[in-house]
A and B are shown apart, each in its own frame.
Chain A
Amino acid sequence: MRLEFCSKKSSNNHHQGRVLVHQRAGVQMPDHFDRLPNSVVLLIFNKLGDIKALGRCAAVSKRFNGLVPQVEEVVVKVDCVISGEDSAGGLGGRSRSIFGHLFRFVVGSIVKPLQALQQILGPKRVVLAEVSHHSPGEVLKNFKEIQNLRIELPGGELGIENGVLLRWKAEFGSTLESCVILGATSYFRGGGDKITGKEEDALCQDNHNHNRELSNSQDDSGSIPESFYTNGGLKLRVVWTISSLIAASARHYLLQQIISDHPTLQSLVLTDADGQGMLCMGKEQLREFRDKPLAASATANRTQVPALNMKLWYAPYLDLPAGAGMEGATLVAIRPSDRPIRKETEAFVAAAFDEPFGEAAKAMVKRRTYLLEMNSF
């Protein structure tokens, strides 16, 4: 269940239970840290970032112990996310939360009506993020000077099928300020780097080439095909959008205590090891959060999502660098209805993702824009 730091096992065995007596025959080796001023030792600690490593440094010497709490840049890698409820079937304690299981169920089957989503989310679920059985808040307790905090969940909450792509990036103050979502029914890398199983590859590549030829021969203005509305394509995109917003607002909700405990915070990022979702809060947004507490949603432990305006772009097929490609690519840019329109939508959307998805986003915003609205939930 706790998956991090397995590499430490081998080096730890012979240290277990004893304090090494630190002595060398003959020449006494110099302690180079002695020569460094505190500001430089802090620079090294700030580069170290990982909170467990910092916690261990605090036990090295008096000086280190005094400096560790002054670190400004911290990264907390969460080992596991478990449900707070005892759940039947042993779902608790897995490395993916209950959320992940539910969404795997919903997103995989296209035909599920949207109402089912709300029903499934109805009962109260507590999602706890843990670092070796301690909450991130507890682990951060002694770090009073943190300015830049990054928390990394072990995986994305949204369980998706192999080959499907779903990524989101959201910014929050007290409430959602913006969200960009990129999804594709199929994403494959070029060359030897395949996502699906080996035997399927040859077949897949043939299919992709075939689809690429098809789409090239059709009108490629970015219009969503009529079939989209009937074959579940639109429903799937709506489910992607809602799932991403729920995941984002649940993460936002988790952060309340940490934000109030650390008034020195200037930037906060909550991401996951899969690179699926990234929640960001900057200096102004954190200030707003402290002044104006969030509104919790009625049903689940997450922040209320306000009424939204959305722009959607679609591409049946997208060529990416190095032979990679996407099918059924969908890009959604979301903002609350009551916020002014961002003038630089294109730049904002393109900057949301790392490569190669940044390139994909840039290509997609040039296509036909669809406008959607969503109620608060």
Chain B
Amino acid sequence: MAEDPTAAMAKECKVRLKISDDTIFEVEYAVAMQSQMLKNALSDTGTDGTVPLHNISSEIMAKVVEYCAYHVNAANTISEKDVKIWDQEFLKDLDQATLFNLIMATQYMVIHNLQDLICQTVADRIKDKSAEEVREIFNIQNDLTPEEEEEIRHENQWAFEEEGWPEIQEEVRLEG
């Protein structure tokens, strides 16, 4: 009885990925399958030849491969808690540019779990910040007119009240 062809491929095949500076990354088939985009591309053309990924740099590709290689096996063999610890270590010290480059790469390659992880990290950096701080951290241009901004702040005043927190607390005490 012949062995399941997919399993055989997973063990032996390497997939060749050509990135922005024409470097070739060779990754195991199972690792490449973490990308929905590669999965679709390879199911049509097979694993011979090279898949071009012109818009991804060497540095980013290395991180993507590192993540996918770990997670290929993680689901079945490593505890959820340990996977989370590994993920946090993976994210450590990544600068903003790298984070966003990773988001774009996972968007293009369609790697949901990594994209979710990075997006959650960005969300965590936004979470407790004021609007000005968010703009400053992410270099976002404020294109709202002062009137527009005032209107939004008024409409969503429940989100901004902490910014005047000490004053408001006084009022509450007086009212009992």
Contacts and interface: CB of A to CB of B under 8 A. Distances in A.
Contact of A33 (B140, B142, B143, B155): B140
A139 B158 contact: yes
Contact of A142 (B148, B155, B161, B169): B155
B131 interface: yes
Nearest to A18: B132
B139 A29 contact: yes
B76 interface: no
Interface residues of A, number: 54
A284 B121 CA distance: 33
A60 B96 contact: no
Contact of A90 (B132, B142, B144, B176): B176
A65 B115 CA distance: 23
Contacts of A142: 155-156
Contacts of B143: 61-62
Given A31-B139, A31-B140, A139-B158, A56 B130 contact: yes
A12 B130 contact: yes
Contact of A56 (B119, B146, B160, B169): B160
Given A31-B140, A61-B140, A61-B141, A44 B123 contact: yes
A7 interface: yes
Given A9-B165, A65-B152, A131-B158, A35 B100 contact: yes
Interface stretch (A45-53, A229-237, A326-334): A45-53
B176 A50 contact: no
A191 interface: no
Given A40-B107, A48-B127, A60 B158 contact: no
A16 B100 contact: no
A11 interface: yes
Contacts of B161: 132-133
B135 A60 contact: yes
B49 interface: no
B174 interface: no
Of A30, A59, A93, which is in contact with the most chain B CB atoms at under 10 Å from its CB? A59
Interface of A: 1-2, 4-5, 7-9, 11-12, 15-16, 19-20, 22, 28-33, 35-37, 40, 43-45, 47-62, 64-65, 90, 93, 131-134, 138-139, 142
Q: Which 7 A-B pairs have the closest CB atoms?
A: A55-B159, A32-B100, A55-B156, A47-B123, A48-B123, A59-B131, A134-B158
Given A12-B130, A36-B100, 7 more contacts: A20-B132, A20-B136, A53-B159, A61-B135, A61-B141, A62-B148, A93-B176
10 contacts: A5-B128, A8-B162, A20-B135, A29-B139, A30-B139, A36-B100, A40-B119, A56-B129, A131-B158, A133-B158
